[in-house]
Amino acid sequence: MSGDHIHAEPTNFFRKHVFSVDHKVIAKQFLWFGLIWLGIGGLMAMIIRWQLANPGDPVPVIGSFLFPATDGVVDPATYNTLFTMHGTIMIFLGLTPLLIGCVGNWAIPLMIGARDMIFPTLNMLSFWSVFLGGAVGLYSLFVPMGASEAGWTGYPTLSTTVNGLGSGETLWAIAVFLIGASSIMGGINYLTTIIRLRAPGMSWGRLPLTIWGIFFTSILNVLFIPVIGSAMLLLIMDRVFGTTFYVPTSVMQGAGGGDPILYQHLFWIFGHPEVYILILPAWGIIGDLLSFFARKPAFGYRIQIAAMFAVTVMSAVVYGHHMFTTGISAMLGESFMLLTMIISVPAEILFFNWLHTLWKGNIRFTTPMLFSIGVIFVFGLGGLTGIYLATIGTDIFLHDTYFVVGHFHLTMAASALFAAFAGIYFWFPKMFGRMMNETLGKAHFWLTVIPLTTVFCLMFVMGYAGMPRRYYDHTSSEYLAALQHMNTAATHAAFILGAAQLIFVFNFLKSRWFGRPATDNPWEVGTLDWATPTPVPHYNFKVIPTVHTGPHEFSHPALGEDRDWISMTEPLPGAESDGPDLGGGAVPTPAS
Amino acid sequence: MRRLFHHLAGAGTRLWSTAFGVAALAALAEAQGGKRWGPTEAASDYGYRFYDLFWLITILCSVSFAIVCILILIPALRDRARPGHKAKFDHGASLKDKRVTTVVSASVFLVLDAWVLVIAMTDLREAWWNIPDEEEPGVYQVEVLAQQWAWSFRHQGADGEFGTADDIIQINELTVPTDTSVSFQMTSKDVIHSLFLPEMRTKRDANPGAINEMWFKAIRSGEFTILCAELCGFAHYQMHGKLHVLEGDQFESWHEDASRLGIAAFDTEDEEAQWAWKWE
């Protein structure tokens, strides 16, 4: 293996903290970036909830500052902007940077025993590309006529010029394109690094599940982000250069010839894998963490990998379930229904392996463990409610109602968010050399999981009662006004949920600078990231370690009574030699 | 066989849901003073199928989720870390164990999926996607034109053809007869809309540049809801209307009056109003 990715420690401030090529610094950049956007997107959610519970009332406290033109009232166009940007921000600028950008960058080199990503410059470019995408998205909020109002799905012909949305819509498409470019760069880098830079002895069968999850996600990123990129390019062409890829003749009077349904196919060929792009790293992380804190090997390690692989392969052939009411043919509809049902099987196999990992463990209920178990809970609720939406007989009624909103928030939003929290609480000590406060962490968990479940379960009832989503004011219809009490209740729960995140912000910031100093391996786990000193030195490993055992050899009988874990760098006591000399430490430490 | 399966499941779920869902929700609604916790009663002949399937899935999912919760709770209470307690090491200990977990859980889920799938397929073929042929006698036809932000409905006059002077055009109001299959063809003038009739338990997108089909048969008269379910701009939430279902005689007299008014209002100069198309 070449040492091209190894670079000297920078001495100048900009190269060290801003335009850094060090994966650890980039991981932290993604972390701060993701958290800030999560805050902005979360605030938007709070304003959306306020409007739904109190339609047309001025938003208290921040309203007159944010919407001075209307004395703090959210007008219908602003409301559409809010839910559009809330979705776009949470998915592309909040969760993706946290789960893939931060965890991927932090965990891959450290967990596989490498000194950095294989393409450090590409890695830096990946961050600055998403940063630029975020900047364009932020700027779009301030252009005349405001940011995109066409929903995070941006369906034409609402999103094409015929309807007169301002340049915000074009900027939205450009932002998504830039963020996509970042994900592709990240994906290529992650795949190559995992394939090429594993430490001696780190066979595929010893890779931590986190790395497997990110590996499969990267495959999906590299395959399907180009599809959304193309869809966005065509949309930009339609809006800026007057092409009509998505605009039919009847709308353009004479010109046209395009088809808005084409966009929906392109969008969902990407859009459904996107759900798995976010959830696969989450599955990987909790596959590891459940084992780490149950002090038991991950049950069915290979079966878990196989299930994740099956989901990866199938992720692109189920997308049609987003389009059951568009008029797709009965044959296509039924095929997509069947395929969607089948993809539930590998997901459910994962569930039983996780539950089996907990069974007869010696469970340490730390904050990362609580959030990992939280993923099983919320993903269970979200995944099972997917059956209603996969089944066309129920989907026809439930499509585009709050049932869908509840479902995807539990699956891709809450599960991914919980896994991101689990990851942050787990790697924080290694990242910043300090422990996060456990009491505050547990309070954060319980004050998150209870209101969150309340909000989205209420949305299931609202959807079952027939309440369409993306409505500015449900009380304008007599049929929906009778459901308004649930909107009010959901808003109260959502405000508790929002307030609980302040506990996390406080804990994160306080622990960052004033937390209890962390030891090298506070969680007592064996993966290579915890075999490094805290803080992690510039080159991660003085000598590239040789791996002798798997990542989850907890409570092995050979370890005796004194400890229940073993580092991957140690052979099991009394074990035969695990093969020929693997040549650990062969890569020299570069001069710094 | 499939029908039998369907009927059994239908009867079973109706029993369950009456005991379980409706009673509980109705009691809640009562206590809440008219606040609604579910959809109003179905008014179409296939509406019960949504209800049956929804509650069947709810029962299956509740059982599955309860199992998941129990399997979290037992170890959470029993296997807490404490001094002197050790986890059971089962790494590679039993391949059989893993196979059993996988095969048993997968087959349970496959059976559950297949059960729901078979009923859903039957429902689609017998109800939602069993759109009556336009040649079929006794089918009442309606053309729908959606636009920002209104629904236009076009009925044939006495001549039985669309696009003639005696057509009836309704805006944000639709009047149809009971016990008659009403067949829709719909399109949009500008952006994608979606015609959502919650009491009829159906919904279909109205796409610009294409014609989509939908149908239902109302089983009782009354005033029902028309909503738009696809985001169509800032007044999306106001794009609603009323669906009037009238008994045979009442409908006939409404149709005659409306057709007469239609002829009176017909204006060949008004190109905007000439949007009908031929059914094929």
The answer to whether residues B155 and B120 belong to one domain is: no
Cβ distance A211 to A112 under 8 Å? Answer: yes
DSSP string for B218-229? B-S-EEEEEEE-
DSSP A549: S
Instruction: Kindly tell me if the per-residue pLDDT of B24 is higher than 80.
Output: no
In this complex, do B234 and A384 lie within 8 Å of one another by their Cβ atoms?
no
The answer to whether residues B50 and B156 belong to one domain is: no
- To the nearest 10 degrees (0 to 180), the angle between helices A367-390 and A416-432 is 160
The arithmetic mean of pLDDT across residues A412-421, rounded, is 96
Cβ distance B63 to A510 under 8 Å? Answer: no
The arithmetic mean of pLDDT across residues A12-37, rounded, is 92
SS (H, E, C) A98-114: HHHHHHHHHHHHHHHCC
- Whole-number pLDDT of residue A589: 46
Share of chain B above pLDDT 70, in %: 86
The answer to whether residues B106 and B145 belong to one domain is: no
The answer to whether residues B153 and B117 belong to one domain is: no
Q: Is B223 on the interface with A (CB under 8 A)?
A: no
Min Cα distance A248 → chain B (Å) is 5
The answer to whether residues B145 and B178 belong to one domain is: yes
The answer to whether residues B15 and B95 belong to one domain is: yes
- Whole-number pLDDT of residue B19: 54
Residues on chain B touching A326 (C-beta within 8 angstroms): 205, 207, 212
Residue A274 lies in a domain: yes
The arithmetic mean of pLDDT across residues B168-188, rounded, is 95
Q: What is the ipTM of this complex?
A: 0.90
- Whole-number pLDDT of residue A249: 83
Residue A556 lies in a domain: no
Domain residue limits at A487? 26-531
Residue A84 lies in a domain: yes
Residue B135 lies in a domain: no
The arithmetic mean of pLDDT across residues B59-66, rounded, is 92
* pLDDT tens digits for range A144-173: 888 899 999 999 989 986 656 678 999 999
The arithmetic mean of pLDDT across residues B129-133, rounded, is 89
Cβ distance B10 to B52 under 8 Å? Answer: yes
The arithmetic mean of pLDDT across residues A471-479, rounded, is 92
- pTM reported for the whole predicted model: 0.92
Give the C-alpha separation, A376 to A277, whole Å: 17
Strand partners, B143: B154, B185
Residue A5 lies in a domain: no
H or E segment at B170?
strand B168-171
Interface test with A, best of B231, B234, B272, B274 (most A CBs within 10 A): B231
Interface test with A, best of B28, B30, B62, B79 (most A CBs within 10 A): B79
Q: Is B90 on the interface with A (CB under 8 A)?
A: yes
- Whole-number pLDDT of residue A474: 93
Residue B34 lies in a domain: yes
In this complex, do B80 and A363 lie within 8 Å of one another by their Cβ atoms?
yes
The answer to whether residues B199 and B226 belong to one domain is: yes
Instruction: Kindly tell me if the per-residue pLDDT of A518 is higher than 70.
Output: yes
* pLDDT tens digits for range B67-110: 999 999 999 999 999 888 888 887 655 677 778 878 888 888 88
Residue B280 lies in a domain: no
Identify which of A75, A249, A299 has the shortest CB distance to residue B90: A299
Count how many domains chain A has. 1
Give the C-alpha separation, A275 to A277, whole Å: 5
Q: Greater confidence, A168 or A8?
A: A168
Q: Of chain B residues 113-152, which have a CB less than 8 A from chain A?
A: 113-114, 116-117, 119-121, 123-125, 127-129, 148
- Whole-number pLDDT of residue B20: 55
Instruction: Kindly tell me if the per-residue pLDDT of A113 is higher than 50.
Output: yes
Instruction: Kindly tell me if the per-residue pLDDT of A591 is higher than 50.
Output: no
- Whole-number pLDDT of residue A581: 45
CB atoms within 10 A of CB A190: 27
The answer to whether residues B167 and B216 belong to one domain is: yes
In terms of Cβ atoms closer than 10 Å to its own Cβ (0-12, 13-18, 19+), residue A588 is exposed
pLDDT level of residue B14 (50, 70, 90 thresholds) = low
Instruction: Kindly tell me if the per-residue pLDDT of A192 is higher than 80.
Output: yes
Across all residues in chain A, what is the average pLDDT?
91
**Residues sharing a CB contact under 8 Å with residue B42, sequence separation 6 or more, in sequence order:** B48, B50, B51, B199, B200, B201
Domain residue limits at B17? 2-81+90-128
Interface test with B, best of A479, A488, A524, A553 (most B CBs within 10 A): A479
Q: Of chain B residues 4-23, which have a CB less than 8 A from chain A?
A: none
Preceding amide of A391 cis, omega within 30: no
Q: Is B100 on the interface with A (CB under 8 A)?
A: no
Minimum Cα–Cα distance from B125: chain A residue: A330
Residues on chain A touching B204 (C-beta within 8 angstroms): 325, 327
DSSP H stretches of helix in A54-119: 63-66, 76-88, 96, 103-112
- Whole-number pLDDT of residue A163: 57
- Whole-number pLDDT of residue A265: 95
In this complex, do B229 and A400 lie within 8 Å of one another by their Cβ atoms?
yes
Question: Please, what sign has the CA dihedral across residues B25, B30, B36, B41?
Answer: positive
pLDDT level of residue A590 (50, 70, 90 thresholds) = very low
Instruction: Kindly tell me if the per-residue pLDDT of B27 is higher than 60.
Output: no
Residue B105 lies in a domain: yes
B194-222 burial: b if 16+ Cβ within 10 Å, else e: bbbbbbbbbbbbbbbbbbbebbbbbbebe
Determine the 3-state secondary structure of B174 from DSSP.
strand
Question: Please, what sign has the CA dihedral across residues A134, A135, A139, A140?
Answer: negative
Instruction: Kindly tell me if the per-residue pLDDT of A489 is higher than 70.
Output: yes
Residue B65 lies in a domain: yes
Interface test with B, best of A352, A381, A405, A470 (most B CBs within 10 A): A352
Give the CATH number of the domain where residue A51 resides: 1.20.210.10
Residue B200 lies in a domain: yes
pLDDT level of residue B4 (50, 70, 90 thresholds) = low
Instruction: Kindly tell me if the per-residue pLDDT of A372 is higher than 70.
Output: yes
The answer to whether residues B144 and B69 belong to one domain is: no
Instruction: Kindly tell me if the per-residue pLDDT of A579 is higher than 50.
Output: no
The arithmetic mean of pLDDT across residues B243-252, rounded, is 95
pLDDT level of residue A586 (50, 70, 90 thresholds) = very low
Count how many domains chain B has. 2
Residue B133 lies in a domain: no
Give the CATH number of the domain where residue B219 resides: 2.60.40.420
Residue A588 lies in a domain: no
Identify which of B60, B87, B148 has the shortest CB distance to residue A362: B87
Identify which of B65, B89, B204 has the shortest CB distance to residue A556: B89
Residues on chain A touching B101 (C-beta within 8 angstroms): 299-300, 352-353, 356
pLDDT level of residue A584 (50, 70, 90 thresholds) = very low
Residues on chain A touching B37 (C-beta within 8 angstroms): 461, 465, 486
